[in-house]
A and B are shown apart, each in its own frame.
Chain A
C-alpha cells in the first residue's frame, strides 16, 4: 500500500496547553485496514492525540492529515464534512439519556441529514432498516424504543457502537472504550468496535496490553507526549511495556 493513501498522517505534530506539551513533535501514519492500539500511562497524551485526529482539537504545531485532508487548513463547514467520516467513541459514551435509544442511534447520521430532517427526527422517528440493522448487530434489536437512561452500562456501550455503525465512518477512534469493563465484556465490546471499523482504520487507546495483542495489528506507545515505540503487536514485549509504565 502506498503512503499516499494513508488514512492518518502526522508530521511533527505538537499540542501545547498553557505552557505544558501534551503531545510533542509526533510523526505517525496509519494505513487503511490497520488497527492501532495506543498504549501509555495516564497523561501520556493519548486523548489529546485522538482529539486532534478527530479535528475537534487543533494542533499547535505540525500538520495533521486525516483521510487526505489537512485538518488545520479546513474551514468549519469542510471540517464538519470531514468529521462525518470519522467515528469517535469516548469512555463516557456521551449518550443523550432522556431520549429513546433510536434517537441516540440516529445521532450518528445527523451530519448527513439536512437541518429540517434532523429536527423533525427528534419529534417523529421510527427505526428504519439501517437503525434496526445496527441495533441487531450489537444485540439490541429489541431496544429501539427503550429510554436510554434505563439501559445497563453494557447496553449503553452497545448503543454507542450502534450509533457508530450508522455513521459508517472511514476511520474509527476510540478513547479508552473498555477501561471500566470486566475482561469478558471488554473483549466483546472491542470485537464489536473492530467489526464496526471493518475495512476502515481503527485507532484505540487501551490500558490492557493483552487486548492490544488480541484485537490490534500495531501497538504505539506514548510517553510524556512523545513516541516511545511503534511496533507490530507481535513485537510488543514486556521490556517495552515495563519502560512505558515505569515498572522497573
Chain B
C-alpha cells in the first residue's frame, strides 16, 4: 500500500547539481515539452483503448440496481447490538494485526537497518559483511516488491488461516522498507560526535548509542508511528484473504449484499483510520517530522529532526503504544508455534519444491504478456483518475495561507475551514476504504476488466495523492507570491505566475512516485477479479498451480523494477 511513500529520500539530494556542459536553450525546452506531452498522451490513449476494447460490454446495467440499493441504505446502517459486537471484534482484530505486524516490522527494521547502515561499520565493512549486506539488500528489495496481500496469499498456503499470517504479511514487506529507512536515518545523523567518542576510546556499542540515538530517535519514532498508520490500512485489506477483522466482515457483507452492514463497517473502518491518522500525525508533528510528505521526494534533503524538545505527547504515545502492543498480542491470538510445527515444515518444503521450476500460465507467453499489459494499463488509468481527484479536491484540502493583505475574516473564513475539513474528510474516506472494497463496488456496476480495477485503484490512490499534494502545497514558500502582490500584481495573476509552477512540480513528482506504487497495488484489485497479474495470481493460487505462481511473481517483480527505474529516470529528468 503506502509503504513506498518514503522510499527515495536520497534522490532529492543531488537535485541542486547542474550537469556541466549542458546548456538549456529554447530548443531544448521545446523538445522536452513535446516529449513530455507524448509521454502523457500516448500511454493514456493506449491504456484507454485497451480498457474499452475488451469485447464484452462495459457497464453492467443490472448491477446498477444493486448500486442503487447500496446507496439507498446509506442513512440506515445496521445498528443491531449483536452486529455491532461483530464490528467491534473485527476492529479489535484489525488493530491488533496492525500493531503486532508493525512491531515485527520494527524488529526487522532495527536489525536490518543497523546491518545496512554504513556508520555502524565505520564505512569500512569487512569483506564477509559486505557480501552479507549485498545479499540482505537483494532480499529486502524482493520482500518489499511483493505486496502484503500477495504475501498473505503465499503464507496462507503454508500456515493455513493462522493469525500469524496476518502479522507476517505486514511485518515482512514493512520490515524490509523500515530497514532501508532506518539505515538511511542512522547514516544521516552527523558523525562528528561518534568519531569524537571513538577517538577517546569508547567501545562501539555505547559510542553509537550515545552519539547516534539522541539524533535518530525522534525520526525513528515518527517513522514507526507512520508505519502503524499504513499497517492499519493493510490490516483491513488482509481481511480479503479470510484472516478476520473489519476487512473480512466488509467483504462478506458486500458479497451477501447486506448493504446496511456495509455502511456500518465502512464507518468503523473510517473511525479507526481517522483516529490512528490523527494520533500519528499529531505525534509526528510534535516530535520532529511534520508530515508524511517529509518522507517522500519533492522535499529538499533527508529528513532532520526539527525540534529537539522532548514532546510529552510522544512520551505518552510510546507508553500507550507499548501497553497496547501487549494487549494486541493477546487479542490477536498470535502464537509462534505455527512457525515451527511439523506441518508447517512439511508444507514449506512442499511449497518450495512446487514453486520451482517456474512454468508459464495457460495460454503461454501470450497470456502472461497480456496480463502484464493489463496491469500497466490499469495503473496508468488509475493514476489518471487519481490526478483528477487531486485536481478537484486538492485545492480545497489546502489550507489557504494569509498573504500580506491580511487573511479573510468572519463567515468567509468559516466557510473556508468547512471546505477544508470536508475535502480532507473526503480524501480520508477515499484512502481508508480498502481498494478491494472499491473494486467490489465497482464490479457491481462494471463488468470485470481493466476499468473497474482502475476506478477502484484510482479512487484509493487519489485519496493518498490528494493528501500528499495538499500537504506539499501548504508548505510552498510564499515569498515569491508575496513579492508579486507587493509589486501590485492582481491576485489571480499572482496565483498563475507564482503559485502554479511549484504546485505543478509537487503534483508531478508525487504522481510519478505514486505510479510506481500503483503498479504494485494492481495486485490488490486483481485478487478480487478485476484484471492483470493480480487476477492471474489469484486464479493460479486457487488451484495450487505453484510453478505458474513463481512465473507471475517474477513477472510482477520485473514490472515493479522497470517502473521504479523509469520513475527514477523521469524524476531526475524533470529536475534538470
Interface residues of A (CB under 8 A from B): 54-56, 79-88, 90, 92-99, 103, 107-108, 110-111, 113, 115, 118-119, 122, 147, 149, 167
Residue from A80, A98, A111 with most neighbouring chain B CB atoms (10 Å): A98
**Known A80-B201, A118-B210; 20 more pairs at CB < 8 Å:** A54-B199, A55-B199, A56-B195, A80-B202, A80-B203, A82-B201, A83-B199, A84-B200, A84-B201, A88-B199, A94-B192, A96-B215, A98-B305, A99-B214, A103-B214, A107-B200, A110-B210, A111-B202, A118-B203, A167-B200
Tell me which residues across on chain A come within 8 A of B199, comparing CB atoms.
54-56, 83, 86, 88
Determine whether B74 belongs to the interface, using a CB cutoff of 8 Å to chain A.
no
B184-223 toward A: CB 8 Å interface, digit per residue (1/0)? 0000000011011111111101110111011100000000
Minimum distance in angstroms from A17 CB to a CB of chain B: 15
- Indicate which residue in B198, B207, B213 contacts A56 across the interface (CB closer than 8 Å): B198
Tell me which residues across on chain A come within 8 A of B309, comparing CB atoms.
147
Smallest CB gap from B212: residue in A: A96
The answer to whether B211 touches A113, judged by C-beta atoms less than 8 angstroms apart, is no
- Indicate which residue in A83, A96, A108, A167 contacts B193 across the interface (CB closer than 8 Å): A96
The answer to whether A115 touches B192, judged by C-beta atoms less than 8 angstroms apart, is no
- Indicate which residue in A83, A85, A118 contacts B206 across the interface (CB closer than 8 Å): A118
Smallest CB gap from B309: residue in A: A147
CA distance A147 to B202 in the complex (A): 22
The answer to whether A81 touches B201, judged by C-beta atoms less than 8 angstroms apart, is yes
Smallest CB gap from B192: residue in A: A94
Tell me which residues across on chain B come within 8 A of A85, comparing CB atoms.
201
- Indicate which residue in B200, B201, B205, B210 contacts A103 across the interface (CB closer than 8 Å): B210
The answer to whether B196 touches A90, judged by C-beta atoms less than 8 angstroms apart, is yes
Cβ < 8 Å to A, chain B residues 313-359: none
The answer to whether A122 touches B210, judged by C-beta atoms less than 8 angstroms apart, is yes
Minimum distance in angstroms from A123 CB to a CB of chain B: 10
Closest 4 CB pairs of A and B: A118-B206, A84-B201, A83-B201, A111-B201
The answer to whether B209 touches A119, judged by C-beta atoms less than 8 angstroms apart, is yes
Smallest CB gap from B194: residue in A: A94
The answer to whether A149 touches B200, judged by C-beta atoms less than 8 angstroms apart, is no
Tell me which residues across on chain A come within 8 A of B209, comparing CB atoms.
118-119, 122
CA distance A242 to B7 in the complex (A): 55
- How many of chain B's residues touch chain A, expressed as a range? 20 to 34
Smallest CB gap from B210: residue in A: A107
Determine whether B410 belongs to the interface, using a CB cutoff of 8 Å to chain A.
no
Minimum distance in angstroms from A83 CB to a CB of chain B: 4
Tell me which residues across on chain B come within 8 A of A80, comparing CB atoms.
201-203
Residue from B196, B210, B211, B305 with most neighbouring chain A CB atoms (10 Å): B196
Tell me which residues across on chain B come within 8 A of A55, comparing CB atoms.
199
Tell me which residues across on chain B come within 8 A of A56, comparing CB atoms.
195, 198-199
Number of A-B residue pairs, CB cutoff 8 Å, is 87
Smallest CB gap from A116: residue in B: B206
Provided the pairs A92-B192, A94-B195, A122-B209 are in contact, do residues A108 and B201 lie with their beta carbons within 8 angstroms? no
The answer to whether A122 touches B213, judged by C-beta atoms less than 8 angstroms apart, is yes
Determine whether B407 belongs to the interface, using a CB cutoff of 8 Å to chain A.
no
Tell me which residues across on chain B come within 8 A of A94, comparing CB atoms.
192-193, 195-196
Minimum distance in angstroms from A51 CB to a CB of chain B: 8
The answer to whether A97 touches B210, judged by C-beta atoms less than 8 angstroms apart, is no
Determine whether B308 belongs to the interface, using a CB cutoff of 8 Å to chain A.
yes
Minimum distance in angstroms from B189 CB to a CB of chain A: 10
Tell me which residues across on chain A come within 8 A of B206, comparing CB atoms.
110, 113, 115, 118-119
Tell me which residues across on chain A come within 8 A of B198, comparing CB atoms.
56, 83
Provided the pairs A118-B210, A122-B210 are in contact, do residues A97 and B201 lie with their beta carbons within 8 angstroms? no
Provided the pairs A84-B200, A88-B200, A107-B197 are in contact, do residues A96 and B214 lie with their beta carbons within 8 angstroms? yes
Tell me which residues across on chain B come within 8 A of A83, comparing CB atoms.
198-201
Tell me which residues across on chain B come within 8 A of A118, comparing CB atoms.
202-203, 205-206, 209-210
CA distance A228 to B527 in the complex (A): 77
Tell me which residues across on chain B come within 8 A of A119, comparing CB atoms.
205-206, 209
- Can you list 21 A-B pairs with a CB-CB distance of less than 8 A? A56-B199, A80-B201, A83-B199, A83-B200, A84-B200, A90-B196, A94-B193, A95-B193, A96-B211, A97-B215, A103-B214, A107-B196, A110-B202, A110-B203, A110-B206, A110-B210, A111-B203, A118-B203, A122-B210, A147-B309, A167-B200
CA distance A110 to B192 in the complex (A): 16
CA distance A93 to B211 in the complex (A): 13
CA distance A110 to B194 in the complex (A): 12
Minimum distance in angstroms from A167 CB to a CB of chain B: 6
CA distance A167 to B196 in the complex (A): 12
Tell me which residues across on chain B come within 8 A of A84, comparing CB atoms.
200-201
Provided the pairs A115-B205, A147-B308 are in contact, do residues A98 and B214 lie with their beta carbons within 8 angstroms? yes
Cβ < 8 Å to A, chain B residues 197-251: 197-203, 205-207, 209-211, 213-215
Residue from B200, B211, B213, B215 with most neighbouring chain A CB atoms (10 Å): B200
Smallest CB gap from A54: residue in B: B199
Smallest CB gap from A76: residue in B: B204
Minimum distance in angstroms from A93 CB to a CB of chain B: 8
The answer to whether B200 touches A98, judged by C-beta atoms less than 8 angstroms apart, is no
CA distance A79 to B198 in the complex (A): 10
